[in-house]
Structure 1
């Protein structure tokens, strides 16, 4: 990756709907050069997806940050848990972490009651899980999908 690629990544993280010619104007490249570079970054996985991020008007329900700690940590337990979290539409994000917890989840639910039912069905019923703690997000101070490009 060179400086042109890094500049393009900054631009598409802000607005991936800009035309190739507009992006090219901003970084001093031709539209065809921008198109080739973006295509190469998509193929290589540098750009994983281009999606619409919903605004607060479209968001309903609650967001719960959930920490999960296992009774015993094994590769099989971790793999099984990761696969279940990937497949669960309520789980927006899943992080393996160091510290007191083994994983942190960001979970969407329609209500506190719905989250409680989800927790009992998905987490409490798992014999490998020792404990899970739930933190209801009251508001969002900052949310971004933008990552620094080094």
Structure 2
């Protein structure tokens, strides 16, 4: 379903991405609506599936260790190969995200580990053993630009203070 978003909807989404726990009264003030009108728009965005949920960005291994962006190429791209690969990926919590792609990689994964040595073990014991995998290309993230974590471990907006 394609949902038409106006400038206010896009602004609500932008602000919620920055702070999903922003009080409705503050959000309403920032987008220029009454609190009830703002809440109605949020409810509509949720009901239409534009906003699919809210999450917490957790400090720990996922943010303070190694984040690897992994491009996977499969031996074949048949439905059976894709289904086997996807089922196997779901059984490994070290893999936080998995995207079926167009282009030269069949999948892009995001995996986390507390250290480079721990990621090496994930690569050797998990990724290389996933069904149908013929090529693995890993890149290590240096820092998260959209969700930076300060040295105190607290999330900040990344804006100059």
Bin for the TM-score computed over the shorter chain: 0.7 to 0.9
Do structure 1's residue 143 and structure 2's residue 135 form an aligned pair? no
Q: Which structure 2 segments of 5+ residues have no match?
A: 148-161
Query: Where do 5+ consecutive residues of structure 1 fail to align?
Result: 145-150
Q: Comparing both chains, which one has the higher relative contact order based on Cα–Cα distances under 8 Å and sequence gaps of 6 or more? A: 1
Deviations 1:97-138 (A, max 9, x none): 23332112121012233222222332322341112122233x
Distance in 1 (CA, whole Å) between partners of 2:97 and 2:37 is: 34
Distance 1:143 1:56 in 2: 17
Q: Secondary structure at the match of 1:59?
A: helix
**TM-aligned CA distance change 1:52 to 1:123, over 3 Å:** closer
Quick one: structure 1 residues 3 and 134, their matched pair in 2 at CA, closer, same or farther if it must change by over 3 Å? closer
* Partner Cα separation in structure 1 for residue 71 and residue 62 of structure 2: 26
TM-score (norm 2): 0.73
Q: 1:115 aligns with which of 116, 119, 129?
A: 119
Match of 1:27 among 24, 31, 42: 31
Query: Is residue 2:47 matched to residue 1:40?
Result: no
Q: CA deviation at 1:81?
A: 1.9
Question: How many residues are paired up?
Answer: 143
